Amino acid sequence: MGKKSMQGEEAGFLDTYGFPLWLYPVTCIMIVLFAICTEWDASATDIVTSTQSDAGFTIHERTVVKTTMDSPIMTYAMYMDATAMCVLGFGFLYAFSKYYVWGGVGFNFFICGFCFLWVPVCQCLVKSMFEGHFETTKINLETMVSSNYVTAAVLISFGAFYGFVSPTQLVVISILEPFVMLVNEHIVFHIIHVQDAGGSMVTHMFGAYFGVALVFGLGVKSKHLPGKQRNTTYFSDMGAMIGTIVLWLFWPSFNAALLYNDVTIQGRVIGNTYLAISASCVTAFATTTLIHRGKMEMIEIQNATLAGGVIIGTICTFLIDPWVAVLIGGIGGVISTMGYGYLHPFFESLGFTDSAGVQMLHGIPGLLGALFAALATLADNTNYMYSYHTQWHTSEECDRNRGQQFGYHLAAIMISLAISMITGLITGLLIKMPCVPYVEREDMLIDHDFWHIHDKHHDPRGGKRKERSVVVENNSAETKA
């Protein structure tokens, strides 16, 4: 944490209680805003009829609505798939660090719970800001699924600053990023009129570069981090591999979840994603073996095998041949694996620290996926407009030829990159404020300052350190080794 928690010194009051001191007021404000900005969708409320009895009493009778394959409740299965990706998939994927397993899984869980509540409020505020009139967010399964997409962007960013921020800083990030992500999404979908069903651009690319820019603004350099604290273990990597498998299984649902009103497009998205992510799994194994001279690197298998789901995200609604989906996914697996093998160390040598390498799984494949979709619009206008008009955001008023739509698509990519990097950098600077407890360089990627861990010998900093002030009271006899 802060300077006073270092090397056996007792943690200061803000270092010890900063997280609840920030989180309780923020939660109270969020509840008030939730009451103002949200309401139940009319289809989710009871249908009640009132009649007068012969005796003059009013009788209220509730109408029972039976579930059918066409009813909204059937989208709950895909909502659960998307939620499982956020909570289980990303959670276990972030269990790779030797000394930050609890932080990776636990703080991932916290981000999910916080953002699932905060995103509907942000949706109301952003929509009201752009449309000029106040309109509440209707709470239904569509809202819950879209909250998963925004939360996923924050979780992707978390991978970049994984182990570098305090819980209090994480609260500030979880407040700011969903809002700016939704602003960017509104600009792309409703002003530029470019669609992105699987979120290659507005979720994956945005989240990755927001996180990388945040770390840059925070001033964390890989050369200043103790090397042993960035290590993994045989068992922590195995836990992360479980997260990879969960993500791999549910990715087709994630890309297709919001397209429940169009079975044709939804089936196409599932098929394209299934083919692409299978191809990236194959090419990732082949490429890592090539790079490392006959052996496989676990971090590349954990991440690059998923790149097909990222890179196909924008183009997955297009009516492309099956072999094209396989080709795109295979390219994603190769590019992501080579990124971890060559680009990741290079970028860190330039001062761009990326704790979990999210730029290689989400940033670059997301950017390439958006570019592939742009090229597809340039190659075949009819194909693009067919998928364009049958997605959940329609834009019939846009009369563009394929060259114009290609240009707008490139503009959407550039704007998304600019907004993500600028706001990420500003957020990194903001969370360095004196009122926000921070993490010292030598304390990064370590669970011990934030979790009550009974195994004191597991602390890589060595010595019998005094714990945070609450623990110091019960262990006053402990001294610095």
- Give the integer Cα–Cα distance in Å for 135 and 146: 17
- Parallel, antiparallel, or unpaired for β 47-52 and 58-63? antiparallel
Encoded tokens for 225: 């981090």
- Tokens, residue 140: 């239904």
Q: What is the pLDDT of residue 3?
A: 42
What is the 3-class SS of 267-302, one letter each residue?
HHHHHHHHHHHHHHHHHHHHHHHHHCCCCCCHHHHH
Q: Provide mean pLDDT across the span 205-210.
A: 97
Instruction: Look at residue 64 in the predicted model and tell me its pLDDT.
Output: 63
Question: pLDDT category, 246, cuts 50, 70, 90?
Answer: very high
pLDDT at 270 over 70: yes
pLDDT higher than 70, residue 219: yes
The b-or-e profile of 27-47 (16+ CB within 10 A means b, else e) is: eeebeebbeebbeeeeeeeee
**Tokens at residue 20, please?**
């609840």
Report the DSSP beta bridge partners of residue 59. Answer: 51
* Sequence-separated (6 or more) residues with CB below 8 Å from residue 310: 198, 200, 204, 332, 361, 362, 365, 366, 369
Q: Is the pLDDT of residue 205 over 50?
A: yes
As a whole-number percent, the residues of the chain with pLDDT over 90 amount to 61
**Who wins on pLDDT, 456 or 332?**
332
138-197 pLDDT, tens digit per residue, is 998 889 999 999 999 999 999 999 999 999 999 999 999 999 999 999 999 999 988 898
Spatial separation of the C-alpha atoms in residues 468 and 127, rounded to whole Å: 43
Q: Residues 7-34: what's their mean pLDDT?
A: 81
Average pLDDT, rounded, for the chain: 85
Average pLDDT over residues 225-229: 83
Mean pLDDT value of segment 354-365: 95
Predicted TM-score of the model (pTM): 0.88
User: Within 13 Å of residue 110, how many CA atoms lie on the same side as its CB?
Assistant: 20
pLDDT tens profile 296-319? 999 999 999 999 999 999 999 888
| Confidence bin at 48 (pLDDT 50/70/90) | low
Q: Tell me the pLDDT band of 249, cut-offs 50, 70 and 90.
A: very high
Give me the DSSP letters along 85-147. Answer: IIIIIHHHHTT-BSS-HHHHHHHHHHHHHHHHHHHHHHHHHHHHHHHSS--PEEESHHHHHHH
Identify the band that residue 379 occupies on the pLDDT scale cut at 50, 70 and 90. confident
CA angle in degrees (0–180, nearest 5) for 344-349-351: 100
* Total number of residues shown for the chain: 481
Beta strands 47-52 and 38-40 are unpaired
405 exposed, middle or buried (CB, 10 Å; 0-12, 13-18, 19+)?
buried
Lowest mean pLDDT among 3-12, 24-33, 278-287, 425-434: 3-12
Residue 18 is predicted with a pLDDT of 82
What tokens does 341 get? 């093998």
Tell me how far apart the alpha carbons of residues 398 and 200 are, in angstroms, rounded to a whole number.
22
Q: Which two tokens stand for residue 329?
A: 């996914």
Q: CA–CA distance from 466 to each of 4, 7, 164, 241, 447 (Å)?
A: 11, 8, 21, 34, 14
Q: How confident is the model at residue 81 (pLDDT cuts 50, 70, 90)?
A: very high
Taking residues 107-134, report their average pLDDT: 96
| pLDDT value for 15 | 75
Main-chain dihedrals φ then ψ at residue 236, nearest 5 degrees: -65, -35
Mean pLDDT value across residues 86-107: 94
Structure tokens at 217: 């603004």
**How does residue 479 score in pLDDT terms, banded at 50, 70 and 90?**
very low
Residue 49, φ and ψ in degrees, nearest 5: -110, 145
* Whole-angstrom distance, CA of residue 267 vs CA of residue 324: 16
Average pLDDT over every residue of 392-408: 65
**Range with the poorest average pLDDT among 90-94, 280-284, 303-307, 402-406:** 402-406
Task: Look at residues 130, 367, 94 and name the one whose alpha carbon lies nearest to residue 243.
Answer: 94
